[in-house]
Chains A and B, each alone.
Chain A
């Protein structure tokens, strides 16, 4: 199976299995969209820009504070936006409804990021 299909399958699997997640995207550090399991109503360009800004801020903050890992979980009145690195210069972004359990979201995302990293690092 092609890697691009495996990437999308992994994104769909994560989105379908994560309660209250309604959009997931894999984004490059340059702000390009590599794969998506987004609801049709979400603007990818907006999502990619948002991810980029979030991770940039998190990276600077973690560097300033001497913390190695940079993950972002941003609550808002409408739900959560979460992003974390997925290897090979990519970022996994998830948007979840307000009813989501934030304590469960990031561990699920880390697990999905591990799958994505393995796919990305498989033979090109």
Chain B
């Protein structure tokens, strides 16, 4: 759903993450309220006005600290989901400064610094995994475009092994199997 449409609808549950909603608001210069729920109720809200971060509050406070906690809860903790609704009625005072990109980078940095420091840092592993996944996904797409379907199957299978559950990867693996490529029908 577009940011424009979201700002006019009462709520859309669980379609996207909070960060995706915030990025869509930013890209489309839209106004909206993104609520984060941890399964036991709303834990906080972030308001975007005309595509800019406007204010945030959660159970522990407000402003940038609340924004960072809410994004971290939605992005890095299980069990949270985001909903969005249009911005209506009186607007709370602004308590967020800077661009969305800056705040999201700050959220990632804050979360990173809060993590324990074992010999091998989990976030660097995650980044490596993401890079590896994207390179395999790109190899699969390139192979599809050049109609090298066995190569595409191999690349997508490897991507699925790195990060299971991606819908593009799974959909293409399914279609390749339907066409007779892959483990059961190597051509």
Contact = CB atoms under 8 A, between A and B. Distances in A.
Interface string B1-20: 11111000000001110001
A30 B144 contact: yes
B24 interface: yes
* Secondary structure dominating the interface of B: helix
B2 A39 contact: no
Interface residues of A, number: 35
Contact of B1 (A17, A22, A32): A22
Contacts of A115: none
Interface string B143-187: 011010000100000000000000110011011000000000000
Contacts of A60: none
A75 interface: no
B174 A4 contact: no
B99 interface: no
A124 B23 contact: no
Interface residues of B, number: 31
Contacts of B167: 33, 36, 44
B28 A17 contact: yes
Interface of A: 2-5, 12-13, 15-23, 28, 30-36, 39-41, 44-45, 48, 88-90, 97, 120, 124
Interface of B: 1-5, 14-16, 20, 23-25, 27-28, 30, 134-135, 137-138, 141-142, 144-145, 147, 152, 167-168, 171-172, 174-175
List the 10 closest pairs (A to B, CB-CB), nearest first: A22-B1, A16-B24, A16-B27, A19-B4, A4-B138, A16-B28, A44-B171, A32-B144, A33-B171, A16-B3
